[in-house]
Structure 1
Amino acid sequence: MNNQTIDAQLLQAEVAIHNATTNDAVKSAMALYGYDTTKVAENQALLDQGKTLHTKQKKEYGEQYSATDALSKSMKTADKWYIKHVKIARIALKNERGIWQSLQINGRRKKSQSGWVSQATVFYLNALSNPDVLTAMNQFGVSQEVLASTQLLVQDVANKLSIQLKETGEAQDATIKRDEALDLLMDWMSDFKAIARIALEDDAQLLEMLGIVKAAA
């Protein structure tokens, strides 16, 4: 369900509750069928909860989108250097099968973000701890300092991925809680409207005040 639909549902419920509690004719008619001020107040509480959780859900998804964009930007920068260093390592260490394995430079680079972080982290950690790798890479213009600075870029990606995953989880949780609250609100409104059609069946204008269009006979 998109946000515009939910916004419309919340607004409709708000209008119905307001008019059911401020219009004397509606109040009197509905009270005869058990929907007095106290009972209608129950729906106000459901409405308030739904609005609060809907606002929070929007906030959480905004934070998720920001975290995703930050991750994408960070990864794009780091990947440019990482791929370059992998290509150079394959040339500089072309006869070193054991080192290839330790740097994980065999085969394709992993496409998933977590897989990329894992491969890149291993590459720079093992490259910087192996003097033979440092010597070989330096001969092709990749110094220890360059590798170390790129390692920091990879760590930044890892940090941003962790944040993005957290924000994604929070956004999903906010959606579940929002939807549960809306289900309760819509269930209450369904009964309310059904009773209103009975209580106000002879007054189409009052029904319209509650957002209910009288069905054709």
Structure 2
Amino acid sequence: MATKRTKSEAETLELYRISLENVGKQPTIAASMAGIGYDAATISEGKALLKKTRQTFDINRFEARKTAAAYADFLAAKATLGKTYGYHRKISKIIFKKDTLTLNRLAVSGSMPKAYIAWLETVKTFYRVSTTDPSIQDKLARLKITADALHSAQTLINRLETTRTFYLRKKGESQNATKTKNKTFENLDKWMAEFYAVAKIALEDKPQLMESLGKLVKG
């Protein structure tokens, strides 16, 4: 189980960096720690863990930013299609108000589904039917919804599906990066917990030197 952390991950990394740098640069601390088994070779193990954790932390943040950007693109594409389809749907309901069969074929009868897949299938049905039926196109054209406009909406559907596919891929990669980062942090936290416990014993008669390792000492 990972050590419960009261600082942010960035703050924790900085604390660990300071500790592992100063343990070798402060002569009294270096000698005291070496005398209890934490010599330069042992400290280098901690530095290696810190470097690896810093790398996974940076990768995780990078993937998170890419995922957020991909999600924003997906939402923008959905909003654009939704606005276009919403207008076409309203006009269709007016034109085919007394044509129940066509309303059903275009899937504009009743309320619009809220769930994404059901919503998208409803949108797809409308444009699949309207772009392949000249009679429907002629009637929609009366209120300025051209065949070109209907076909352009198909492009918006393709754009939406592309952005969603990319977003879900980035989301998976980000979750994997988070899992990797969490594991390296867990290993580093355990190593540093022992490091601080040993340092407290090594510096028992010089407790204020713990502050050189980034640890606040009362009194």
Q: TM exceeds 0.5?
A: yes
**SS, match of residue 164 in structure 1:** helix
How large is the RMSD of aligned CA atoms in angstroms?
2.3
1:45–1:110 CA distance, 2 compared to 1 (3 A) = farther
Q: How does 1:60-75 map to 2 (within 5 A)?
A: 60-75=63-78
Q: Which amino acid aligns with 2:78?
A: M
Q: Name the structure 2 match of 1:191.
A: 194
Q: Deviations over 1:43-89 (max 9, x none)?
A: 11111111111111211121122222222222222211101111222
Q: Name the structure 2 match of 1:143.
A: 146
Q: Which amino acid aligns with 2:55?
A: T
Q: Scaled by the length of structure 2, what TM-score is found? A: 0.86
Match of 2:203 among 189, 200, 204: 200
Match of 2:80 among 62, 68, 77: 77
Q: Name the structure 1 match of 2:91.
A: 88
Question: Structure 2: which 5+ residue stretches go unaligned?
Answer: none
Q: Which amino acid aligns with 1:128?
A: T
1:51–1:64 CA distance, 2 compared to 1 (3 A) = same
Q: Does 1:213 align with 2:216?
A: yes
Q: Which amino acid aligns with 2:107?
A: Q
Question: Structure 1: which 5+ residue stretches go unaligned?
Answer: none
Q: Does 1:105 align with 2:113?
A: no
Q: Name the structure 1 match of 2:39.
A: 36
Asked if the contact 2:200/2:207 (under 8 Å) is kept, the reply is no
Report % sequence identity: 25
Asked if the contact 1:121/1:155 (under 8 Å) is kept, the reply is no
Q: Does 1:123 align with 2:126?
A: yes
**SS, match of residue 94 in structure 1:** coil
Aligned-partner Cα distance in 2 for 1:212–1:156: 53
Q: Does 1:27 align with 2:26?
A: no
Of residues 192-201 and 150-159 in structure 1, the stretch that sits farther from structure 2 once superposed is 150-159
Q: How does 1:40-51 map to 2 (within 5 A)?
A: 40-51=43-54
Q: Which amino acid aligns with 2:126?
A: F
Using the TM superposition, give the Cα deviation of residue 210 of structure 1 relative to its aligned residue in structure 2, in angstroms. Answer: 1.0
Aligned-partner Cα distance in 2 for 1:159–1:122: 18
Aligned-partner Cα distance in 1 for 2:39–2:101: 80
Of residues 7-16 and 33-42 in structure 1, the stretch that sits farther from structure 2 once superposed is 33-42
Q: Deviations over 1:128-176 (max 9, x none)?
A: 1223322332233212111001221222122112222222222222222
Of residues 123-132 and 145-154 in structure 1, the stretch that sits farther from structure 2 once superposed is 123-132
Q: Name the structure 1 match of 2:171.
A: 168
Match of 1:11 among 11, 14, 20: 14
Asked if the contact 1:90/1:105 (under 8 Å) is kept, the reply is yes
1:56–1:212 CA distance, 2 compared to 1 (3 A) = same
Aligned-partner Cα distance in 2 for 1:55–1:24: 32
Aligned-partner Cα distance in 2 for 1:73–1:138: 27
Q: Which has the higher contact order (CA 8 A, sep 6+)?
A: 2
**SS, match of residue 107 in structure 1:** coil
Aligned-partner Cα distance in 1 for 2:48–2:110: 58
Match of 1:52 among 52, 55, 68: 55
